[in-house]
Amino acid sequence: MSAPKGRPPALFPLFAGIDTLPGIGPKGRAALEQMGIDKPRDLILTLPASGVTRRRIAHIADAHAPEIVTLTLTVTRHHPPQVKGRPWRVHCSDGAGGDLTLIFFRAHAAWIEGQLPVGARRFISGKLEFFDGMAQIVHPDHILAEGDDLPAAFEPVYPLSAGLTQKGMARAVEAALIRLPEADEWIDPALLVARGWPGFAQALRMAHAPGAPADLSPDSPARARLAYDEFLAHQMTLALVRRERRRQKGRASAGDGRLRDRVLASLPWPPTAAQTRTAAEIAADMASDQRMNRLLQGDVGAGKTLVAMLSALAAVEAGGQAVLMAPTEILARQHARALEPLAQAAGIRLAALTGRDKRDLRGQILEDLAAGRIDILVGTHAVFQKDVQFHDLRLAIIDEQHRFGVAQRLQLQAKGEVPPDMLIMTATPIPRSLALSHYGDLDLSVLDEKPPGRQPITTVMIADQRIDQVTERLRAAMAQGARAYWVCPLVEESEVSDLTAAEARFTHLRALFGDRVRLVHGQMPPDQRDAAMADFASGTAQLLVATTVIEVGVDVPQATIMVIERAESFGLAQLHQLRGRVGRGTGASTCLLMYHSPLNETGARRLTTLRDTEDGFRIAEVDLEMRGAGDVIGTAQSGLPRFRIADLEHQAGLMAVARQDARALLERDPGLDSPRGQALRLLMWLMQQDQAIRLIQVG
Query: Considering all CA atoms of the chain, what is the largest pairwise distance in Å, rounded to the nearest integer?
Result: 101
Residue 1 has pLDDT above 60, yes or no: no
CB atoms near residue 350 (< 10 Å) = 22
Confidence of residue 76 (pLDDT cuts 50, 70, 90): very high
3-state SS assignment for residue 341: helix
**What's the domain range around 347?**
258-447
Last residue of a domain, one of 100, 135, 151: 151
In contact, 581 and 559? CB cutoff 8 Å:
yes
pLDDT of residue 338: 86
Nearest by Cα to 300 from 128, 118, 425 = 425
DSSP 457: E
Mean pLDDT of the chain: 85
- What average pLDDT does this structure show over 639-665? 81
The 10s digit of each residue's pLDDT in 580-591 is: 888 877 778 999
More confident position, 221 or 432 = 221
Residue 141 phi, psi dihedral angles, 5° rounding: -75, -35
pLDDT of residue 371: 94
| For the ranges 187-201, 493-507, 632-646, the one whose mean pLDDT is highest | 187-201
Confidence of residue 631 (pLDDT cuts 50, 70, 90): very low
Nearest by Cα to 184 from 652, 537, 683, 592 = 683
Domain identity same for 417 and 565: no
Long-range interactions of 361-369: CB distance < 8 A, separation 24+:
369/321
Is 138 inside a domain boundary?
A: yes
Domain identity same for 64 and 142: yes
Whole-model pTM: value is 0.66
Residue 243 has pLDDT above 50, yes or no: yes
Residue 333 has pLDDT above 60, yes or no: yes
Q: What span, in angstroms and rounded, lies between the C-alpha atoms of 533 and 150?
A: 73
- The strand pairing partners of 560, in sequence order, are none
DSSP 86: P
Nearest by Cα to 381 from 636, 576, 637 = 637
More confident position, 87 or 553 = 87
pLDDT of residue 207: 96
Residue 101 has pLDDT above 50, yes or no: yes
Domain identity same for 403 and 501: no
More confident position, 185 or 382 = 185
Report the Cα–Cα distance between both ends of the chain, in Å, rounded: 10
Is 299 inside a domain boundary?
A: yes
Cis peptide before 526 (omega within 30 of 0): no
Nearest by Cα to 533 from 542, 520, 521, 522 = 520
The 10s digit of each residue's pLDDT in 230-240 is: 999 988 888 88
Indicate the number of domains in the chain.
3
pLDDT of residue 319: 93
Domain identity same for 279 and 413: yes
Q: What span, in angstroms and rounded, lies between the C-alpha atoms of 554 and 331?
A: 7
Is 192 inside a domain boundary?
A: no
Domain identity same for 310 and 424: yes
Nearest by Cα to 333 from 553, 484, 519 = 553
Name the least confident of 158-162, 217-221, 350-354, 615-619.
615-619
Domain identity same for 441 and 465: no
Last residue of a domain, one of 613, 638, 655: 613
The 10s digit of each residue's pLDDT in 140-157 is: 999 999 878 888 888 898
Residue 255 has pLDDT above 60, yes or no: yes
Return all residues near 514 (Cβ < 8 A) that are at least 6 apart.
none
Q: What span, in angstroms and rounded, lies between the C-alpha atoms of 610 and 429?
A: 14
The 10s digit of each residue's pLDDT in 505-527 is: 999 999 999 999 999 887 788 78
Where would I find the H helices in 439-525? 467-479, 495-513
Q: What span, in angstroms and rounded, lies between the C-alpha atoms of 151 and 52?
A: 11
pLDDT of residue 526: 76
- What average pLDDT does this structure show over 50-60? 90
Nearest by Cα to 444 from 462, 430, 464 = 430
Q: What span, in angstroms and rounded, lies between the C-alpha atoms of 87 and 80?
A: 7
More confident position, 5 or 548 = 548
Name residue 565's amino acid: E
pLDDT of residue 380: 82
Angle formed by the axes of helices 572-579 and 601-612, to 10°? Answer: 30
Is 183 inside a domain boundary?
A: no
Last residue of a domain, one of 393, 417, 447: 447
Residue 637 has pLDDT above 50, yes or no: no
In contact, 656 and 602? CB cutoff 8 Å:
no
What is the number of alpha carbons within 13 Å of residue 317 lying toward its C-beta?
Answer: 22
Residue 416 has pLDDT above 70, yes or no: no
Name the least confident of 2-6, 79-83, 478-482.
2-6
CA angle 457, 458, 459 (to 5 degrees): 105
Q: What span, in angstroms and rounded, lies between the C-alpha atoms of 467 and 475?
A: 12
Residue 332 has pLDDT above 60, yes or no: yes
3-state SS assignment for residue 81: coil
Residue 342 has pLDDT above 80, yes or no: yes
The 10s digit of each residue's pLDDT in 441-474 is: 678 888 877 767 677 889 999 998 999 999 999 9
User: What's 531's domain CATH number?
Assistant: 3.40.50.300
Is 252 inside a domain boundary?
A: no
User: What's 80's domain CATH number?
Assistant: 2.40.50.140
By the 10 Å C-beta count (0-12 exposed, 13-18 middle, 19+ buried), 64 is classed as: exposed
Is 294 inside a domain boundary?
A: yes
Domain identity same for 291 and 377: yes
Confidence of residue 697 (pLDDT cuts 50, 70, 90): very low
Confidence of residue 493 (pLDDT cuts 50, 70, 90): very low
Is 39 inside a domain boundary?
A: no
Q: In Å, how far from its chain's centre is CA 527? A: 35
Is 215 inside a domain boundary?
A: no
Q: What span, in angstroms and rounded, lies between the C-alpha atoms of 446 and 336?
A: 23
Q: What span, in angstroms and rounded, lies between the C-alpha atoms of 63 and 77?
A: 22
What percent of the chain shows pLDDT beyond 70? 87
- What average pLDDT does this structure show over 354-359? 74
The 10s digit of each residue's pLDDT in 188-207 is: 999 999 999 999 999 999 99
